[in-house]
Structure 1
Amino acid sequence: MQVGQRARNAFVVLWVVITALKAVVAARLPLFVDEAFYWQEGRHLAAAYSDLPALTAWMTRFGEELAGHHAFGIRLPFLVMGALLPWMVVRISARWFGARFGWQAGSLTLLMPLSATLGILAVPDVPMAFAAVLCLDAGARLLRNVDAGSALMLASGLVLGALSHYRFIGVIGVGFIALLLLPEGRRTLRDARIWVALTVGIVAWLPLLAWNLDNQDAGLKFQLVERHPWAFQSSGLWFLAIQPLLVTPLLCIAMWQACVAGIRPLPAGPHPVQWRYFALVGGVSTLAIFLLGFFTDVERISFHWPLPGYFALLVAVPLILGRWPRLWRRLAWVLALAGVVCAFGYYLVAASPALREQLAGNKFYPRNFAGWQPLADAVREELAGMPEGTRVVAGSFKVGAELGFLRDDASIHVLPHPLNDKHGRTAQLALWKLIGEDPHPGQRLLVLAPGDQRYRDLLARYHQVCALVGPLPPPRVVSTDHGYQRFLLFRLPAGKQQGACVTPAMAWVNMPEPDAVVRGVVDVQGWAFKDGVGLAGVDVLVDGKVVAVADYGADYDVTGYWKVSTDPYHPKVGFNAHLDGAALAPGRHWLGLRLRGRDGSVEEWQEQPFEVPAR
């Protein structure tokens, strides 16, 4: 009894601390780009959308109406769902394995990084996980006895899941397979009440089906065909490697042991039928996703996909940990605690401009959270100097949604962009009449995010923009975190202007390399050009201050790579300058470029770090 009381107290303390931390982070963290688009969908309420069913958008709208127009308000319903999930795991585990193990399973749910942070972001995985756990609970109860309450719970989970994400089809399939593999499950499926619940769940998919029928199956094509290569790719191994880190290694081992123990003919512990059911749901789901990882989309975030299966395994994990030696059991808890500290640490870094800047240049730099408020401030300043009625035009759905949220304007026009297609948003923007030719005449403020495409595709993208809006005037550059998040603002005149394409400048520093150690005088060499007009000069900056005016105009032919470039001064686009490291204080510094165009433009380029050693 004392052990059970300690387990309960530990869970309650953990739940209070974790929930409070999630609320703090949710209030401080800027909206992720997908969250901003879900908010935009919530401002255009519908029964379904091009990228998702309707529930996520409805929840963002409900949160905004309930708590106000800010990030915490948008995320509030998701925070509540995320806070309820550990209690649901406690209830399931306690029902079949005892109260002590139930509290421990809840504590593990609060400490496993993937589930601990669930609810911080307003994303569809939160209601989908909630629906999956509802169905898991209902399925286990139905194996013991079919009653109206369990059937109603199943129907509720199926409805929530159908309104959450296309991927919930997989959760349904795995649950159905698990029931078919169990004699008790096959008996359960003969009950008419189960089929009534399944029918209710099927009906919930009708709005999404109707949307696809009305829009040439755009949503289905994106989710099932266009976003996936459906060909073997060895990079799927990274998916397998990262999962033990995201759930912590020893907890990952314990979950697989729980799966194996549950599938054995005579699993140890009480209620073997339910344990076997949990093991089948968790094992089949997780294994299927691991295998699909070699054939499906690996470019976008997908590490959270196995989460519904992990919940099924977590309910039995305390029984496994109870069999481990004390040292390994404690180490598993310590690693889980360390994992959740790292997960929250990352979100806190992303929420803090000063800390986030320290990740600039790192592959973990949270670019999709960065720079949106400085951009909104710059847009407001630019519009103040332009005629009343000037419209904002965004280069992609990301910029349009983020700016729209910060300006409380869900109708920002968006240019065609491969990103809109890649994320399944083009069809939805077209339905809102917010993409393509802007039907409103007058001046426009165009906002581009150069980082929205790979650097090798950037010049071609600039030429595509020229084809849409005409030659680009000198831009205002909004740079955050040493240029790792950059935006370009262009004041476009009314109507499309004619003439040769003028683009923003392009540049590259060959020497010194990023993170180089600079001793004494070193050469700064590279190339830079600006299509349509050319460059008048290049300044070298250190920590934002000019330290040298480069000799610009050396022979450096880059047209073999940048075949579409129209800079009139090719091949004389090389530059060279000297940097005296001895004149700088020891430590980390940032090397940048200021590119001066012959059209009067002044553009600061992305910086790169270098070190001056102690003398």
Structure 2
Amino acid sequence: MTDTTRQLRLFWALLAALTIVRLFLAASVPLTPDEAYYWVWSRNLQPGYLDHPFMVALWIRIGTWVGGNTPLGVRLLGPLSVLPGSWALCQAARRLLPGSPWPQSGLSAALLLNATLMLGLGAATMTPDTPLLFFITLFLYTLSRAIDPGVTSRAALPWWIGSGVLLGLAFDSKYTAVLIGLGLGGAVLTTGRLRRQPGPWLAIPGLFVAMSPVILWNACHHWASFLRQGGRAGDWHPARAVQFLGELLGGQVGLATPLIFILFAAGVWACLKRNRLLAWLALVPTIVFITHAFGDRVQPNWPAVIYPVLALAAIEAGWRIRWPVISGMVITLIVCIQAVFSPLHLVPHRDPVLRLTGGWDGFSRQVALQAKAEGATALAVEDYGLAARLAFTQDILPVIGTDPRWHLFRLPGTAAVKAVRIAEQRHDVSPEKAVTLCREVRDQAVRCYTVSPPASLVGVQLPGRS
């Protein structure tokens, strides 16, 4: 057996083990409110939604068709998608890193990406970043075939069109994919060999065909999603720029894990000297996020779109990856153990996973029984995450969403129903005659909510699990 064959077998054995761990994690950790919100989307598939494109809803619909309306069903495609995604990234390194020996370069890039907390924990959850990362890795593979100097422009044409389609599917997952497209555009325009080929220009129609469902949905809904997400670019709070930049840096050090973050940074610096394509793909999104941080907060998961590119770029630094990969996997393992077993009995506000996922079953049942005892026929909730989580967890009473966003769904409105209104408690102030109920873990309150007396309310009825 050659060393290369041994390395490949060990690599796939490790990925298989990681997939089993991620599937266990996906089945064991309760859904977050956002995941439950995307699950509601999956029960009402449409080409677009207010907050994001449709891909996460489609993935959940497929997963729940196989695994049922359970946490594992909701998240099923996440862990499974990492296997083909890692293969694609490994193959992409062959042509995107021409100065590095393959398959070692590809295996190293895939290991680095899998060792990040962004993918290690993120693959066991279901958010728009999950399909986004998958399609970006496939895009990098087809792009590597398209730019291969050993093929003619005619032979490269299908790969360019495929790259456009995959980038469009990434856009259908999350709008930040457009930043990778801008980076590719910059690379094409500044590279004569690529600029003169027909492939990059014929990829544009494929891109727009794949994006068209989201564009058409927005056109039919007064551009609601584009305006909502694009409006964030206009936020401007320069007095807090230092805070926002610090949060951006700290978030990426945490999600990449510290040693891998340093390797990512070194890789981008190396690409500036000898890999123009990867430099463009990495720097355009990075500059956009840094610029945004001068005026408003950048959520820690937004730069996820760059992580597959950074994993490739890191190999250009020529550094050893052994300790960054080991440290990243150890950190991810510690976080996963805490998420499932909570060996460290942290107070809820210091445990972000517990704060989002803890105590929903008991709380939801308690709320529904309390409302039913008071003669209510429904639960009315304005907060979209709370409404979705209650709809997923209990089937005692229907959940009525009162947030205006629900009117963008093809969901039936209700006539006036007798419902209790549920809201998160603020500053220990409760509406008159309201009852306070809390989500609890180990007899500790995670979050408390007010349940107002029944009243006649209207809204949109959310789908339940049955």
TM over 0.5: yes
The residue that corresponds to 1:223 in the other structure is 229
2:100 is aligned with 1:122: no
Equivalent AA in structure 2 for residue 345 of structure 1: I
Equivalent AA in structure 2 for residue 360 of structure 1: P
CA shift for structure 1 position 148: 4.0
Equivalent AA in structure 2 for residue 441 of structure 1: V
Quote the Cα distance in structure 2 between the aligned partners of 1:477 and 1:239. 32
Residues 420-465 of structure 1: CA distance to partner in whole angstroms, max 9, x if unpaired? xxxxxx4344645689xx63333x2333322xx5x3xx64xx56xx
SS in 1 for 2:448: strand
Change in CA separation of 1:476 and 1:254 when aligned onto 2, cut-off 3 Å: closer
The residue that corresponds to 2:267 in the other structure is 258
The residue that corresponds to 1:172 in the other structure is 181
Return the TM-score normalized by structure 2.
Answer: 0.85
2:100 is aligned with 1:112: no
More helix by share: 2
Quote the Cα distance in structure 1 between the aligned partners of 2:131 and 2:349. 34
Quote the Cα distance in structure 1 between the aligned partners of 2:290 and 2:234. 15
SS in 1 for 2:69: coil
The residue that corresponds to 1:153 in the other structure is 162
Change in CA separation of 1:347 and 1:184 when aligned onto 2, cut-off 3 Å: same
Equivalent AA in structure 2 for residue 338 of structure 1: S
SS in 1 for 2:122: coil
SS in 2 for 1:338: helix
The residue that corresponds to 2:250 in the other structure is 241
2:378 is aligned with 1:391: yes
Change in CA separation of 1:219 and 1:176 when aligned onto 2, cut-off 3 Å: same
Quote the Cα distance in structure 2 between the aligned partners of 1:311 and 1:81. 14
Taking every aligned residue pair, what percent have the same amino acid on both sides?
Answer: 20
Asked if the contact 1:158/1:198 (under 8 Å) is kept, the reply is: no
Quote the Cα distance in structure 1 between the aligned partners of 2:112 and 2:16. 14
The residue that corresponds to 1:195 in the other structure is 201
Query: Structure 2 matches for 1:242-391, cutoff 5 A?
Result: 242-264=251-273, 267=274, 275-298=275-298, 302-318=299-315, 320-321=317-318, 324=319, 329=320, 332-352=321-341, 355=343, 357-362=345-350, 364=352, 366-382=354-370, 385=373, 387=375, 390-391=377-378
Change in CA separation of 1:320 and 1:127 when aligned onto 2, cut-off 3 Å: same
Equivalent AA in structure 1 for residue 185 of structure 2: F
CA shift for structure 1 position 351: 3.4
1:448 to 410, 417, 423: 423
Equivalent AA in structure 2 for residue 401 of structure 1: A
Quote the Cα distance in structure 1 between the aligned partners of 2:415 and 2:449. 24
The residue that corresponds to 1:539 in the other structure is none
Change in CA separation of 1:215 and 1:355 when aligned onto 2, cut-off 3 Å: farther
Quote the Cα distance in structure 1 between the aligned partners of 2:438 and 2:272. 59
Greater shift, 336-345 or 75-84, is seen at 336-345
Asked if the contact 2:358/2:441 (under 8 Å) is kept, the reply is: yes
SS in 2 for 1:303: coil
Change in CA separation of 1:341 and 1:490 when aligned onto 2, cut-off 3 Å: farther
Return the TM-score normalized by structure 1.
Answer: 0.66
Quote the Cα distance in structure 1 between the aligned partners of 2:171 and 2:121. 23
Asked if the contact 1:63/1:73 (under 8 Å) is kept, the reply is: yes
Quote the Cα distance in structure 2 between the aligned partners of 1:109 and 1:410. 43
CA shift for structure 1 position 68: 0.8
Asked if the contact 1:473/1:490 (under 8 Å) is kept, the reply is: yes
Change in CA separation of 1:495 and 1:229 when aligned onto 2, cut-off 3 Å: closer
The residue that corresponds to 2:445 in the other structure is 483
The residue that corresponds to 2:31 in the other structure is 31
Residues 542-596 of structure 1: CA distance to partner in whole angstroms, max 9, x if unpaired? xxxxxxxxxxxxxxxxxxxxxxxxxxxxxxxxxxxxxxxxxxxxxxxxxxxxxxx
Quote the Cα distance in structure 1 between the aligned partners of 2:397 and 2:316. 50
Change in CA separation of 1:433 and 1:70 when aligned onto 2, cut-off 3 Å: closer
The residue that corresponds to 1:143 in the other structure is 147
Residues 255-275 of structure 1: CA distance to partner in whole angstroms, max 9, x if unpaired? 3333333332xx3xxxxxxx4
Change in CA separation of 1:365 and 1:133 when aligned onto 2, cut-off 3 Å: closer
Quote the Cα distance in structure 2 between the aligned partners of 1:472 and 1:224. 41
- Choose between structure 1 and 2 for higher RCO, CA contacts under 8 A separated by at least 6 residues: 2
CA shift for structure 1 position 365: 6.0
Equivalent AA in structure 2 for residue 396 of structure 1: D
CA shift for structure 1 position 44: 1.2
Change in CA separation of 1:204 and 1:89 when aligned onto 2, cut-off 3 Å: closer
2:409 is aligned with 1:439: no
SS in 2 for 1:483: strand
Query: Structure 2 matches for 1:508-587, cutoff 5 A?
Result: none
Quote the Cα distance in structure 1 between the aligned partners of 2:457 and 2:93. 65
Equivalent AA in structure 1 for residue 314 of structure 2: V
Change in CA separation of 1:135 and 1:473 when aligned onto 2, cut-off 3 Å: closer
More strand by share: 1
Query: Structure 2 matches for 1:38-77, cutoff 5 A?
Result: 38-77=38-77
Quote the Cα distance in structure 2 between the aligned partners of 1:112 and 1:57. 25
Change in CA separation of 1:412 and 1:495 when aligned onto 2, cut-off 3 Å: closer
Equivalent AA in structure 1 for residue 81 of structure 2: M
The residue that corresponds to 2:462 in the other structure is none
| Aligned positions, number | 445
SS in 1 for 2:302: coil
CA shift for structure 1 position 475: 4.4
Change in CA separation of 1:364 and 1:50 when aligned onto 2, cut-off 3 Å: closer
CA shift for structure 1 position 383: 5.3
Equivalent AA in structure 2 for residue 379 of structure 1: V
Asked if the contact 1:376/1:407 (under 8 Å) is kept, the reply is: yes
Equivalent AA in structure 1 for residue 348 of structure 2: A
Change in CA separation of 1:249 and 1:398 when aligned onto 2, cut-off 3 Å: closer
Quote the Cα distance in structure 1 between the aligned partners of 2:283 and 2:104. 24
SS in 1 for 2:317: helix
Quote the Cα distance in structure 2 between the aligned partners of 1:224 and 1:343. 33
Change in CA separation of 1:361 and 1:206 when aligned onto 2, cut-off 3 Å: closer
1:210 to 210, 216, 220: 216
Change in CA separation of 1:175 and 1:73 when aligned onto 2, cut-off 3 Å: same
Change in CA separation of 1:117 and 1:473 when aligned onto 2, cut-off 3 Å: closer
Asked if the contact 2:420/2:452 (under 8 Å) is kept, the reply is: yes
Residues 187-225 of structure 1: CA distance to partner in whole angstroms, max 9, x if unpaired? 23xx0x443331121133333233333333321221111
Change in CA separation of 1:154 and 1:408 when aligned onto 2, cut-off 3 Å: farther
Quote the Cα distance in structure 1 between the aligned partners of 2:233 and 2:313. 35
